[in-house]
Structure 1
Amino acid sequence: MQTYRVGGAVRDALLGLPVHDNDWVVVGATPEEMILGGYLPVGKDFPVFLHPRTREEYALARTERKTARGYHGFAFHTDPGVTLEEDLARRDLTINAMAQAEDGTLVDPFNGQGDLRAKMLRHVTEAFREDPVRILRVARFAARFPGFSVAPETQALMRAMVADGEVDALVPERVWQELARGLGEQRPSRMFEVLRGCGALAVLLPEVERLWGVPQRADYHPEVDTGVHLMMVLDMAARLQAPLPARFACLTHDLGKGTTPADILPRHLGHEARSVDLLLVLCERLRVPNECRELAEVVAREHGNIHRSEAFDATAVVRLLERCDAFRKPDRFVQVLLACECDARGRLGLEERPYPQRDRLLAALGAARAVSTAAIAEEGQARGLAGQAIGQRIHQARIAAVAAALAH
């Protein structure tokens, strides 16, 4: 029985990056021997165990065989005769197919260390084509390591997989999982660059794919192309360390521009409402979590008004805050404003431009939330008012508070 540290922990250690989680492979053992050693079995599809003390995952060395299309179409085989090299051969990229023995010896049968030095994302074997999730993983690693390139032969293999229909078999939950992780990486635009390059983006996110080549007014968008703008917005979200819901809102805020009638281009009248419609379809298809969907819907619908809000008087500001549900969900509104700032600064040559709309609207929200709605309701009830009449008094009090705040 031999134990090896494998995968990302080995890769990141060689890159000098922090290692947060260790994964281990055990060669020459049976499930019964692992259990006798105190390991807790947790694997559903194949034998994975938790270490009795560290709780890190230990998997028995295994091979796999393709049995059907998609992510779940595999049969796994484990027994004490499966070698470490056979286990590493089933992994996605050479930089993830290295192992380290307990004495520190590096096991690198597929030259992952060389590809780390060359900054190359390269598939290990032709078995790569059997799992379409690996296309998403390559794209995600491109976003995590933006200085790395995808090997030409790996690009060709991914294009062939898309042409063969493998991507169509991906389950929504796994697509969302990888998309969410990619959005959280150092340069999210690289994920979409790789997915576009192999044709997978058109299959998985056609609403996003169609944005490239769509022109915008150059006086507002010096980069002109909507797809280029979208990638700049995503990278700005990474730069500003936006949380996932805000990053997803950045991805989907302009979907409607892909359906703007040709006769009104490069203007995009009404694109906000079209963006919301497309967003809801996308979220249903990928089963996007409600937190992300709801915030993205607000941003898609209101980002234009938020950009123009510097010219709004107190009445218009309060109405905007109400539409954004900012009084009930102020923390979400902070993320809405962050996504809008990313949109405003995700433009060629305007990356360092300040975004005063954020501070103005946050000051207005603070003033409006300081209004004692309970006191107004109590006074209104004493005068025989109810329901809508009390709501109108609260609305007017908030307008007065915002007017005073904006005056200063």
Structure 2
Amino acid sequence: MRIYKVGGAVRDRLLGRPVTDIDWVVVGATTEDMLAKGFRPVGADFPVFLHPKSGEEYALARTERKSGRGYGGFTFHASPEVTLEEDLIRRDLTINAMAEDDQQNLTDPYHGQRDLEARLLRHVSPAFAEDPLRVLRVARFAARYAALGFTVAPETLDLMRQLSESGELQALTAERIWKEISRALMEDQPQVFIEVLRACGALNVLMPEVDALFGVPQPQAHHPEIDTGAHTLSALEQAARHKQPLTVRWACLLHDLGKGLTPKEEWPRHIAHEFKGLKLIKAVNERFKAPRDCQELALLVGEYHTHGHRALELKPSTLLELLQSFDVYRRPQRFEEFIAACEMDARGRKGLEERSYPQADYLRGAATAARSVAVQPLLEKGFKGPELGEAIKRERLKALKAYKETASI
């Protein structure tokens, strides 16, 4: 029995990055050998075990063969005869196909270290094209390591393009796709994830609504970058730069989908794009079974982001309707995330990344003013039922009028 550290732990150590998860591969052992040493089996499809003390995953060296469509369409073979090199060749990228023993002696049969130095994401073997999930994984790695200068090797991008055109991406489950998307959006440069998907044709397959934004112009006075797709990527980049949560990043990606529906003869204006985009946002949400908080914020930001930008001009009644739509009284955090998404949208414009966004504090102040209305005095006056609701609304409107006058002095 020989045990090796493999994959990401080796890659990140060589890059000088923090090592979080460690995976191990065991060569020359059987399931019985592992059980005898106290390892606990957890793999349903192939032999994976948890270490009795550390809880880290140890997998028996294995080979795999394509037997069906999609990510799960493989049969695996694990035995003591499978070599380390045979196990490593089934991995996706050369930089993930390195192993080291307990003395940190490197086994690198597919030149992963060379590609680390060249800053290349390159596939290990033609078997790469058998697993459609790898299109998303490589795009995610590109987003993670973009700051270090990594790019996707042209021949790997060609294989990703073939996979995108093959129909295999449609065989992936919504859950698997969302897992990759959500992880990629939380990388330091999530816009690179979208760029790589677009470069290999996968964006048009998975999110044609986002792909349709590229090449669609906007008024230069408001959007110096002009292209709607470029603006969407910039807003996403700003969301990552400002350490926004997944909900905000997802909303930034989808907020302008309605602009992809504008007839060319109406370009570069996009009248009512906020409402036109809602059905597209809903479709993307449902396609990937996005978590409820992501779905809700994306729809609200899609519908109301221009209200956010025009906050200082809104009438008190419109401002109240906006606050009611977000249920700021019971869900203040969601409104805070809406404000953040609006700010990232405003900053996601060429040359305006550092411009202040006074609308943010103004909206926060409006929410505070509306929330300050006390219900108890109205109850004491005898209001109840629908009448109470109307009385609360009148008092909140009064508070917003007073706030607007104070804020504009």
Q: Provide the TM-score with structure 1 as the length reference.
A: 0.97
Tell me, yes or no, if the aligned pair for 2:326 and 2:334 is still in contact at 8 Å: no
TM-superposed deviation, 1:281: 1.1
TM-superposed deviation, 1:405: 3.6
- What is aligned with 2:258? 256
Tell me, yes or no, if the aligned pair for 1:245 and 1:295 is still in contact at 8 Å: yes
Which secondary structure does the structure 1 equivalent of 2:187 belong to? coil
Distance 2:36 2:308 in 1: 62
Match of 1:162 among 161, 164, 176: 164
Tell me, yes or no, if the aligned pair for 2:93 and 2:123 is still in contact at 8 Å: yes
Tell me, yes or no, if the aligned pair for 2:258 and 2:276 is still in contact at 8 Å: yes
- What is aligned with 2:277? 275
Match of 1:316 among 318, 325, 333: 318
Which secondary structure does the structure 1 equivalent of 2:25 belong to? strand
Tell me, yes or no, if the aligned pair for 2:379 and 2:388 is still in contact at 8 Å: no
Deviations 1:289-324 (Å, cap 9, x if unpaired)? 111000111100000111101112433322211112
Deviations 1:157-208 (Å, cap 9, x if unpaired)? 1112222222222221111111111111111111111111111110000000
- What is aligned with 2:362? 360
- Post-superposition, which runs of at least 4 consecutive aligned residues in structure 1 deviate over 4 A? none
TM-superposed deviation, 1:71: 0.8
Tell me, yes or no, if the aligned pair for 1:376 and 1:393 is still in contact at 8 Å: no
Give structure 1 stretches of 5+ with no counterpart: none
Which secondary structure does the structure 2 equivalent of 1:13 belong to? helix
Matching residue's letter, 1:294? E
TM-superposed deviation, 1:397: 1.8
Distance 2:119 2:61 in 1: 28
Tell me, yes or no, if the aligned pair for 1:65 and 1:74 is still in contact at 8 Å: yes
Question: In the TM superposition, what are the counterparts of 1:226-375 in structure 2 within 5 Å?
Answer: 226-373=228-375, 375=376
Question: In the TM superposition, what are the counterparts of 1:46-57 in structure 2 within 5 Å?
Answer: 46-57=46-57
Which secondary structure does the structure 2 equivalent of 1:81 belong to? coil
Tell me, yes or no, if the aligned pair for 1:176 and 1:287 is still in contact at 8 Å: yes
Distance 1:44 1:379 in 2: 63
- What is aligned with 1:394? 392
- What is aligned with 1:29? 29
Which secondary structure does the structure 1 equivalent of 2:342 belong to? helix
Are positions 1:379 and 2:380 aligned together? yes
TM-superposed deviation, 1:223: 0.5
Are positions 1:215 and 2:217 aligned together? yes
Deviations 1:194-225 (Å, cap 9, x if unpaired)? 11111111000000011001111111111011
Matching residue's letter, 1:14? L
TM-superposed deviation, 1:377: 4.5
- What is aligned with 1:68? 68
Tell me, yes or no, if the aligned pair for 1:376 and 1:394 is still in contact at 8 Å: no
Distance 2:176 2:233 in 1: 22
Distance 1:242 1:98 in 2: 34
Distance 2:266 2:324 in 1: 31
Matching residue's letter, 2:126? E
- What is aligned with 1:128? 128
Distance 1:40 1:260 in 2: 57
- What is aligned with 1:81? 81
TM-superposed deviation, 1:143: 0.5
- What is aligned with 1:137? 137
Question: In the TM superposition, what are the counterparts of 1:173-212 in structure 2 within 5 Å?
Answer: 173-212=175-214
Distance 2:209 2:181 in 1: 14
Which secondary structure does the structure 2 equivalent of 1:5 belong to? strand
Distance 1:76 1:376 in 2: 70
Which secondary structure does the structure 2 equivalent of 1:145 belong to? helix
Distance 1:226 1:95 in 2: 35
For the aligned residues, what is the CA RMSD?
1.2
Tell me, yes or no, if the aligned pair for 1:22 and 1:57 is still in contact at 8 Å: yes
Distance 2:35 2:369 in 1: 61
Distance 1:221 1:152 in 2: 32
Distance 2:360 2:38 in 1: 55
Matching residue's letter, 1:192? I
- What is aligned with 1:171? 173
TM-superposed deviation, 1:239: 0.3
Larger mean Cα displacement after TM superposition, 334-343 or 397-406: 397-406
Matching residue's letter, 1:404? A
Distance 2:244 2:210 in 1: 20
Distance 1:211 1:227 in 2: 5
Which secondary structure does the structure 1 equivalent of 2:109 belong to? coil
Matching residue's letter, 1:52? P
Distance 2:339 2:239 in 1: 12
Distance 1:208 1:110 in 2: 36
Deviations 1:354-383 (Å, cap 9, x if unpaired)? 11111111111122222222x045224x3x
Q: Provide the TM-score with structure 2 as the length reference.
A: 0.96
Tell me, yes or no, if the aligned pair for 2:70 and 2:131 is still in contact at 8 Å: yes
Deviations 1:116-168 (Å, cap 9, x if unpaired)? 11100000001100000001011001110112111111111111222222222
Larger mean Cα displacement after TM superposition, 294-303 or 309-318: 309-318
TM-superposed deviation, 1:32: 1.5
Which secondary structure does the structure 2 equivalent of 1:214 belong to? coil
TM-superposed deviation, 1:404: 3.5
Deviations 1:238-277 (Å, cap 9, x if unpaired)? 0011100110000100001000122221111111111111
Distance 2:164 2:20 in 1: 33
Matching residue's letter, 2:179? Q
Distance 1:112 1:172 in 2: 31
Q: Percent identity?
A: 54
